[in-house]
Amino acid sequence: MKNFVFGFFIITNIVFAQSAGETGYSVLKIGTGAKEMSIGTSTTSRLNSTFSLNYNPALITDFNFTSFGFSHNEWIEDLRNESIIANSFLFNIPFFISINSTNISNIEIRTVPGEPEGVFDAHYFSFGFGSGFRITSRISVGVQAKYLYENIYVDESNGFAFDVGLSYKKFLDFLDAGLSLRNLGKTDKLKEQATKLPTEFRFGFNYANLIQSNEFQFYPSFEIQKFIRTDEVNFLLGLSIEFKKLLSFSGGYKIGTGLNNFSFGIGINYRMFQIDYALLPFTKSFGNANIISISVTL
C-alpha cells in the first residue's frame, strides 16, 4: 500500500482539511446539489432542492409532489461526482432514494523518487433510502440508511451508515430551524484497517423572506457544522435571492474550511424544471469546482 498511499492522502486529507488517520471516506464531506453547494451547504433548515434531503432527511415531509434530481460535480484533482435522488410516496408515506458515485482518477503510483510507475483510480459509491414523518404540524423527523462502498487500487471495503434529522418550522416567527447527525456507522477493513466515517453534526436556521418585496424573496441562512471525531468546526453562511420564483442568485461563505471559503450560484425555475449551477473557487492554485443540478417535478 505504501506505493500509493502518499498520493491518495494528498487528495483526501489536504483538500478536505481533515486530520490524517482519524477518519476515512472523506468524499462524504463534499456535498451534493448545486443550489445547496452555492449557499455553503447551509441547507439543514430549508428545502432548497431535492438534494437538501442528503443534509437533513426530515425535510422529506415538506414535499407534496414526486420529483427526480441529477447532479454532476467537476471537482478538483481529477475528482468527479454524480448524484441521483428521487422522492415519492408509498401508501401516503413520503420516501426518497439517493445514489452517489465518486471517482478520483490518475493517482500516481510511486515507490521511489522520480517518474511514477503508473496510475490508478479510487471509486466510492453509496445508496440510500430515507423517510420521515411529522410529529406536529411544525416539527418533523427523518432518517436515511446508506450502503457505502470504496475501492482503492486493488482493495475494497463495504459499510453502512445512517443520517437522522429534525426540522422545526416557524421556530421563531419567520425563523425555521433544523438539525441533523450524518454518517453514523462503520465500514469493513480496507486491506488491514477499518476507517472511521466522518460523522458530523449540523444545526442551522433560516429566515423565510426576511426582507419583504413584491418581486424578490430573500432567504439568509446560518449553520454550524461539527465533525465528531476531529476538532473541525465550520460556520456556514448562505443567502438565496429569488426573483418572481423564476430566477435565483445565491452566495455562501464558510469559516474554518481551509481551501474553499466562498461559493456562488445561479438557478432557473421553469414549469417542472429547476436548473442550478454553483462555482466554488479554491485557493493555493487548486482551481475551481463546478456543479450543475437538474431537478424535475413530476
pLDDT confidence of residue 73: 94
* Residue 102: C-alpha distances to residues 21, 99, 128, 269 (Å): 21, 10, 15, 27
pLDDT confidence of residue 268: 97
Mean pLDDT value across residues 104-132: 84
Mean pLDDT value across residues 31-36: 95
CA of residue 250 relative to chain centroid, distance: 16
Q: Give start and end residues of each alpha helix (H) in the chain.
A: 2-9, 15, 34-38
Nearest one of 81, 155, 60 to 125, comparing CA atoms = 81
Is residue 8 pLDDT above 60, yes or no?
no
Quote the CA–CA distance of 147 and 158 in Å, as a whole number: 8
Mean pLDDT value across residues 123-135: 97
Domains of the chain, first to last: 2-13+27-297 (2.40.160.60)
Compare 258 and 57 and report the one with higher pLDDT.
Answer: 57
Read off the pLDDT band of 135 (50, 70, 90).
very high
pLDDT confidence of residue 19: 43
Task: Read off φ and ψ for residue 265, nearest 5 degrees.
Answer: -160, 165
Q: Are strands 118-134 and 273-281 parallel, antiparallel or unpaired?
A: unpaired
Residues paired with 161 in a beta bridge: 146, 185
All three cell numbers of 110, joined, read: 510511486
Is residue 17 pLDDT above 50, yes or no?
no
Is residue 42 pLDDT above 80, yes or no?
yes
- Residue 17 region by backbone torsions, left for phi larger than 0, else alpha for psi between -120 and 50, else beta: left
Amino acid at residue number 31: G
Most confidently modeled range among 110-114, 214-218, 269-273: 269-273
Most confidently modeled range among 13-22, 99-108, 184-193, 195-204: 195-204
Quote the CA–CA distance of 116 and 105 in Å, as a whole number: 14
pLDDT confidence of residue 258: 74
| 158-171: pLDDT as tens digits | 999 999 999 999 98
Chain mean pLDDT for the chain: 87
Classify 155 as helix, strand or coil.
strand
Mean pLDDT value across residues 7-13: 43
pLDDT confidence of residue 4: 40
| 219-230: pLDDT as tens digits | 999 999 999 988
Quote the CA–CA distance of 140 and 137 in Å, as a whole number: 8
Burial level of 216, CB count in 10 A (0-12/13-18/19+)? middle
Nearest one of 200, 197, 258, 259 to 225, comparing CA atoms = 200
Query: Do 39 and 267 meet the contact criterion of CB atoms below 8 Å apart?
Result: no
The helix or strand, by DSSP H or E, that contains position 281, with its residue range, turns out to be: strand 273-281
Q: Are strands 175-187 and 155-172 parallel, antiparallel or unpaired?
A: antiparallel
Read off the pLDDT band of 23 (50, 70, 90).
low
